């Protein structure tokens, strides 16, 4: 029996445990974990072992091997994932969309004959999708009229999606937003306070009403096939994949983009040698 009742257990982890954990994470999410970071892996997972009342990492790996529902494996990848994000991260891309990108889509009737669909494909806490919503609301042509614009955020992690959908942030998390944008697009909570006593901020209801969030693994985008995307943010997630997985994910994502639609990647994620994507500038592409 592997169950214990510890107040606190300092778990021991070996390189072999780390290799098995990394292999499982790579297979299910594509994310590559550096197996030499044993302390990082141990610290990130110890809480889960404690919650399950397990005595060691061998017992945890047995749990994972017998995970018929996939829940334990999902919690593993959630615990090891990096969710770093920010409002208007790589702001030149939002500037380009407002200045040129939206005009290119408009010529194809996007936002008038067809709704404009924006997808944040590894949306983390939602800052990326809400930034796109703000940029659209600021543009004269694409006001956030229901029916004209649809916003979709997806991520592998259910826990992070709950935060994205709640659209509630601390002062620190909204540091990327100008005073004007805070005034226009956020509501300041009268009651909710963070640990330092500062208020929380929530994205205003009009923007929230055109957004939805769902769990999706970029290794298998079949559940999203009913959507045709016009602007896709696929940023700061390809870097965690090996070359083969990057190609697979790009093929999955590109297949969901309307011809002429726009793909944005992170600055460290250049897309090369693809017959389905044309480079506009580094990190901005159009579907052929």
Ligand X SMILES: C[S@@+](CC[C@H](N)C(=O)[O-])C[C@H]1O[C@@H](n2cnc3c(N)ncnc32)[C@H](O)[C@@H]1O
Q: Which stretch in 49-57, 77-85, 129-137, 203-211 sits in contact with ligand X by CB under 6 A?
A: 77-85
Residue 76: strand, helix, or coil:
helix
164 forms part of the interface with ligand X (CB under 6 A): no
224 forms part of the interface with ligand X (CB under 6 A): no
> Which own/partner pairs from 49-55 qualify as long-range (CB within 8 Å, at least 24 positions apart)?
49/9, 49/11, 50/6, 50/8, 50/9, 53/3, 53/4, 53/5, 53/6, 54/2, 54/3, 54/4, 55/2, 55/3, 55/4, 55/9
Please select the residue that binds ligand X; options are 151, 160, 254, 257, rule is CB under 6 A. 160
The interface mask with ligand X, positions 139-158, x = CB under 6 A, is ----------------xxx-
Tokens 């709950």, located at residue: 162
CB of 282 to ligand X, least distance (A): 16
Spell out the residues 6+ positions from residue 273 whose beta carbon is closer than 8 angstroms to its own: none
118 forms part of the interface with ligand X (CB under 6 A): no
Number of residues lying near ligand X (CB under 6 A): 23
Q: Which of 137, 136, 130 minimizes the C-alpha distance to 169?
A: 130
Task: Compare residues 19 and 27 and give the one whose CB is closer to ligand X.
Answer: 27
Q: Return d(Cα 11, Cα 6) in angstroms, integer.
A: 11
Please select the residue that binds ligand X; options are 42, 89, 181, 287, rule is CB under 6 A. 89
Please select the residue that binds ligand X; options are 117, 152, 237, 256, rule is CB under 6 A. 237
168 forms part of the interface with ligand X (CB under 6 A): no
124 forms part of the interface with ligand X (CB under 6 A): yes
Please select the residue that binds ligand X; options are 76, 81, 134, 264, rule is CB under 6 A. 81
Spell out the residues 6+ positions from residue 226 whose beta carbon is closer than 8 angstroms to its own: none
Please select the residue that binds ligand X; options are 12, 14, 36, 82, rule is CB under 6 A. 82
Q: What region does 23 belong to: left with phi over 0, alpha with psi -120 to 50, or beta? A: alpha
Q: Which residues bind to ligand X, rule: CB under 6 A? A: 29-31, 81-85, 89, 122, 124, 128, 155-157, 160, 217-219, 235-237, 266
């Amino acid at each position: 029996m592997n169950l214990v009742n510890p107040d606190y257990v300092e778990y021991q982890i070996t390189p072999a445990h780390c290799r098995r954990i990394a292999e499982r994470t790579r297979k299910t999410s594509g994310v590559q974990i550096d197996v030499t970071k044993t302390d990082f892996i141990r610290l990130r997972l110890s809480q889960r072992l404690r919650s399950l009342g397990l005595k060691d990492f061998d017992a945890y790996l047995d749990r994972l091997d017998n995970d018929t529902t996939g829940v334990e494996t999902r919690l593993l990848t959630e615990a090891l994932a990096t969710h770093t994000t920010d409002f208007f991260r790589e702001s030149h891309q939002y500037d380009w969309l407002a200045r040129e990108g939206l005009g290119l889509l408009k010529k194809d009737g996007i936002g008038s004959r067809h709704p404009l669909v924006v997808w944040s494909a590894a949306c983390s806490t939602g800052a990326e999708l809400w930034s796109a919503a703000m940029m659209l609301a600021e543009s004269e042509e694409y006001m956030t009229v229901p029916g004209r614009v649809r916003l979709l955020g997806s991520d592998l992690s259910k826990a992070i999606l709950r935060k994205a959908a709640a659209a509630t942030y601390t002062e620190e998390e909204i540091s990327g937003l100008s005073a004007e944008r805070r005034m226009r697009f956020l509501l300041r909570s009268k009651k909710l306070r963070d640990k330092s006593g500062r208020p929380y901020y929530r994205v205003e209801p009009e923007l929230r009403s055109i957004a939805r969030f769902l769990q999706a693994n970029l290794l298998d985008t079949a559940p999203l096939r009913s959507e045709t995307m016009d602007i896709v943010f696929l940023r700061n997630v390809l870097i965690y994949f090996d070359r083969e997985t990057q190609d697979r994910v790009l093929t999955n994502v590109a297949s969901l983009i309307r011809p002429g639609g726009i793909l944005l990647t992170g600055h460290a994620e250049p897309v090369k040698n693809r017959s389905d994507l044309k480079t506009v500038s580094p990190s901005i592409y159009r579907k052929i």
